[in-house]
Structure 1
Amino acid sequence: MHRRRFAMALAIVTAAASLSAQTAAREQLVRGRSLWDQRLSKSAIAALEAAARDRTTAAEAHEMLGRIYMFKGWQQENVFPGWHDEPSYRARALAELRAAVAADPARASAQEALHLAEGFAAAENVDPAPPRDEVKALDAKLESYRSAASAPITDIFAAIEARAKAQADPAPYFTGAQILIDRGELDRAIAMAERGLAASDRFIDENLSAYQMSGKSQGSYARGRATAADLIGWALFLKKDDAAAAAKLEEAARLSQSQDFVNQFHLGELARAQNAPERAREHYLNALSLSGGPPPLRQRATQALSAMPRRASDASFDAWLETELSRRRDERKAAALKSLVDRPLPKLTLTTVDGRPYDTSSLRGKVLLLNFFASW
């Protein structure tokens, strides 16, 4: 009798444990899908690998992993700045999708994904994945608030949160911070830029392997941090806190190596407000010597320069400005080239087209020709 009761209790405990494990696996599967939708690949993969170990969720998890690896292996080139395809994931994509079909031979979506991956493997070139329609629509909605001066602040925050939930890159926070600055919501803008900074670092951390070279990932970290610092600095300037504004704007200049138009323009405005015309002139000229920048800000920088006194011997303003900008551009090119002359090649660990690591230190002492190119 006691033995029978013990067996029944053991069966109940075993069933409960099995059900609990299945529930946990299902939760990991749902979590992994959600994380991948946000393009947080490292955490998504970890969750899906856990789900793949349970037979009740194995087919779905293997398929999802296969789709992630297919994206990483063939479709992520320049989807975000600095990202590249990772050929080492291609075999893993095929293996995961085959595992999905083996776990559930009737799973049509896994069969379809496997067929697509096999086509990618046989193709000479595969186009990068296009932006998702959902993200494009949310970006467009958020951008529309730049010109919607009467829109409630609550609607702007809702648009930011919706876009951030759809994809975890920092763009909605930085766009939102600028919209809030334009609205005069300066404290909220600062808080939003700080959220953008955290999102930027996390997004890069989650997708570190996509950058392939540490210099690219470090550059991406710096760009995100510079953008946040500049937004915060500009908001502080508008709050009339010049000392704090200067610290943040100079931090942004350091992170961007003084190569960001908007930041240089902001530093020019700060210097002019502090009655430092020579410093303002330098920042405005630096800004205009850089490519890009919103046309209204370029016009404002030009107008600010034209209002500043110049030597009587200087040529007309237009001729003087062109001479100054050309000189700065030439100096920047010369400095970039000089920084590379007579210096040893930094250690580069690259990935060959078939996914194997390649360390250039093995070529030390030999003549090496490096051809740097971009695909855009």
Structure 2
Amino acid sequence: MLDPYVRAVVKVVLGKEDLRRMEMSFNETNVLAALKTVSGGKTDSKYARLNSEYQRFKAGEGDYKQKKKNVELVVKLQMSKVLEMLSDEDKECKILTLLHVLRDLPSIGSAVTFWNSLDAVGADRELLVDCAVGMAQLVPHVCGVERVNKNAALVHTKLRASLGEVRTSKLTYVYTNLALTLPKSEKKPSLLDFCESVLEEDQIDELLALLEFSDGDDEAILPAGEASSSSDEEEEEAAEVEEEDANEAAAVFVQPTGFKILKKPADLLKSAAETENLYVMMVWSLKDRKGRAFNQWEVGKVKRFMPARTLHNYDILWDDGMRGSKLTLSTYFLHTDDEQYIPQEGEWLYLRKA
């Protein structure tokens, strides 16, 4: 509602009726609620002033009317230049035309420029200008990005850790778009239904044979790759040796290369100077493939100290991302040369780069 260039493009390409239908998709109550949020919601005076000036802009009072007409003239004039690269067949599709113009909208005009060019005729005008400029600079497509990232987690599980970036991207694309083609009332397809929709007949036969071989363990076979040529017994023996080696290594504290250990301080390090380039090494409790628990050390970089939090007082960047962690001096690991001592889950210590 506050971007005259987008509204002008929709009006020119799709027509007044489609623009009106878009406006009707959210009512005046939604707009007023947004203005209430922008005004801070603390006092009614700022909201009333903002709403009053917005109504003048919406009705096209004063110089707003001429400014809006100028925007429409600019859009009509510049659209022909933007659409030169579009084929006649694509131009017949209004939606494609609209998307093409919106993609190159910065070359036509900007809502930020429009609002900054208005003459300051009072505090209410300045208030609406600040509101419009702030909203015009927001990034509106974050939700779509988050949704795709969630789908990436569905196709790239721990069992499929061998997938490369290119294949993960392709699988995410297929999974996301397949879900979008289904009505909301339908359930997501099973693995076999999914494969039948994207594979050829001979590929489906190979898949069915592989499913029979794997005892129906869908997650273990697709889309990680082909079945291993080694036998199940060989794989189990290799996995057991690997897990035993991991357990033995995890039980022993080894000072990480390139770091120096800090002695237990009298109090938690929390000032900006103390936490700069500060690292934490902590014991985590993990489980192997057979469900057996074992401890493992991990190093993370301290990002910030948050004393007001009750559950987590540090934000730490670990290997799998940023997480809040609760550190207390009572669980500080006192480094000794005693190899018989097995560190317990939750024990930690401070590190710095050597």
Alignment TM-score, normalising by the size of structure 2: 0.21
Q: Write 1 or 2 for the structure with the bigger share of strand.
A: 2
Q: Write 1 or 2 for the structure with the bigger share of helix.
A: 1
